[in-house]
Amino acid sequence: MASTYFAELHPAFQRWTDHPQGGYFVAGAVLSLVAIFFGVVKHLTSIPTPKVPILLNDEIGNARKRALEYCFNPRAVMAKGYAKDMQIEYTYFGGPPEYVIHAIKANLTGSLPAFTPLLHGMVKKNMPNVLGLYKDWTPVQVHDRVLRLVARNNARVFQGTAASLDEEWQSASTGYVLACFDCIRALKQWHPWLRPLVYRFIPERAAIKDQWAKGRKRVMASMLERKRKGGNIEDPPTMLDHLSNGRNEHMADDVEMQLLHQMTLIAVGTVTTFSSTTQAIYDLAAHPEYVSILRQEVENVPRDQSGNFNRDSTSAMEKLDSFLKESQRLNSPDLTTFQRAAVADMTLPDGTFVPKGTKLEINTCSIHADKDLYENPQEFDGLRFYKMRQGPGQENKYKYSSVGREDLSWGFGRHACPGRYLSAVNIKLILAELLMNYDIKLCEGAKRPPNIEFEVLCSPDPNYAILLKNRER
């Protein structure tokens, strides 16, 4: 019956559409359907941004209470933002789990007095080969060279001497860091719906897989060395040792878990260190008036019997410490801090409702440029924090590795970076050795390079060259 009805209707419909007014109607109907289609698509693909007050400025007027309220919220409720920003399901570039953080705080930080002279010896040995030797002023791109210096030091701390000498591991670890950021940028060019498909075809993701394959070989070799020795790889113990002993003994023979640990440590332990070191070198070249001041301090700090710096040495580098903190204030690796997303609906004590999926973050750069906190905040003052530490009771407040509501570069509260003490030691050792062995300045007519900003990430220009020349000593 339906077919008969359509057969009767079709000729009439055909005659009607042939009429001029009927044609206009059909054209209008088609355009309406197209408009509706695109409207539905736009609605479905749009990502709503709930209007939730970041940092609750109006609801909680006291700045300290706002910071504490945010920082000390349960980690499980506000943990998703970092993973989303770093595209962790595709890059594996994530933060360490709680037991790794515990090992860093309880074991690694306490080993830094033993590690410091050892790491300085490595910097002294590696810098001439990695950074180069120059009789005359020579333009040098230091970005990747600094990364190699940091990676070698971290390899000793994380896996042992054999790893620090393994060129394939160095290639894998430094390559992984660079490939992750390339992959993050590439994936974020695509709509989230398409990323599960696109990631399989982009070369940046293939590079990450290649680095992990190389890393697996090195980790297996380190695990075999540890088993052969019947205990720690060497002294002071590595992070691989700490993550295979005591409460972590059940993971001692788990290659994939130990590989994940090592690549995660590279991700969190190398990026900030080499980025901040490079930024400080750019600032040193842009402000040569600090070279002699810092060099004199470095040359006069105490050393151990082997002529290497120890923890007393790095602690005595107060002016260099201030210079590094000022460089980081103006060039924080993250434009925002505490990138988190609520994984469940939550209501704060003041009644503010935060819907599931809401992303919250703190505008770090605005705090670091606040004229109420810093005099002439847009100007670079390498001794700013050194002078601030001269006040009564301020000796420890403004250290490079210290955290506070006025400086969120390392985070705040229990979310503060647990590896910042190792990072500070590495950066000071590299800058101190650079000051003692090289003269440094900008290329003729050049200015300090602007940072490369992508979403909330802030990186030094990898292609920028400064002038270096070995000192006559």
Beta partners for residue 217, in sequence order: none
Whole-angstrom distance, CA of residue 273 vs CA of residue 173:
14
Which residue matches tokens 């007050």? 53
Shortest CA distance to 49 belongs to which of 338, 362, 360, 364? 360
With beta carbons less than 8 A apart as the criterion, state whether 85 and 455 touch: yes
CA distances from 106 to 23, 187, 235 (A): 79, 37, 16
Q: Residue 403: how many CB atoms within 10 A of its CB?
A: 18
Q: Which residues fall within 8 angstroms of residue 265, CB to CB, at 6 or more apart?
A: 96, 100, 154, 158, 239
CA distances from 117 to 288, 317, 451 (A): 28, 15, 33
Whole-angstrom distance, CA of residue 177 vs CA of residue 155:
14
Shortest CA distance to 277 belongs to which of 419, 145, 165, 404? 145
- Strand duo 359-362 + 465-470: pairing: unpaired
Which residue matches tokens 């990323």? 195
By three-state DSSP, how is residue 469 classified? strand
Q: Residue 220: how many CB atoms within 10 A of its CB?
A: 13
Radius of gyration of the chain from its Cα atoms, rounded to whole angstroms: 28
CA distances from 21 to 11, 26, 401 (A): 17, 9, 77
**Backbone CA torsion sign across 365, 174, 434, 472:** negative
Whole-angstrom distance, CA of residue 317 vs CA of residue 302:
10
Query: According to the annotation, is 71 in a ligand binding site?
Result: no
Q: Is 31 exposed, middle or buried (0-12, 13-18, 19+ CB in 10 A)?
A: exposed
With beta carbons less than 8 A apart as the criterion, state whether 343 and 79 touch: yes
Q: Which two tokens stand for residue 35?
A: 């408009």
- Which stretches within 19-108 are classed as H helix? 20-45, 63-71, 80-85, 88-91, 98-103
- Measure the CA angle with vertex 75, ends 73 and 77; round to 5°: 80
Please give the annotated binding residues for heme, written as ranges: 417
Please give the annotated binding residues, written as ranges: 417
